[in-house]
Amino acid sequence: MIAQHESNSPNTRVDQSWREDGPTTLIQKAAFPSHKRGVSMAEKGPTFLNAFVIPALVLNLAVGGWTLVATHLVGGVMVYLGYVLIITVGLRLFLAYLDSFGWYR
């Protein structure tokens, strides 16, 4: 026979320390917002202007500036080495920029 204070159902009184919706955890959730709950925008990659037009214009300015310097001050092989240096550094910077967005490799 079952006494009146006992029941067949499992104990309904539970310790609230393990619950996530307790008053202290609500304060903690407010203080430290979760990335899962927040609205996240998709991270945008470089636009056509940033990825192609601006580097092309900067490269043209560098080559044009070196052409002016080379015609007046530098002669011989140094002219071509200047162009090689400009192209190499420009390409390396451009690939590093694209790599930061995951477009390269």
pLDDT at 82 (0 to 100): 92
With a threshold of 0.75, does the pTM exceed it?
Answer: no
Residue 102 has a pLDDT of: 81
Sign (positive or negative) of CA dihedral 55, 60, 65, 69: positive
Helix H or strand E encompassing 18: none
Q: How many residues does the chain have?
A: 105
Residues 27-81 have pLDDT tens digits of 555 555 555 555 566 677 788 888 889 889 999 999 999 999 998 888 888 899 9
Judge whether residue 21 has pLDDT over 90: no
The residue with tokens 């979760």 is 34
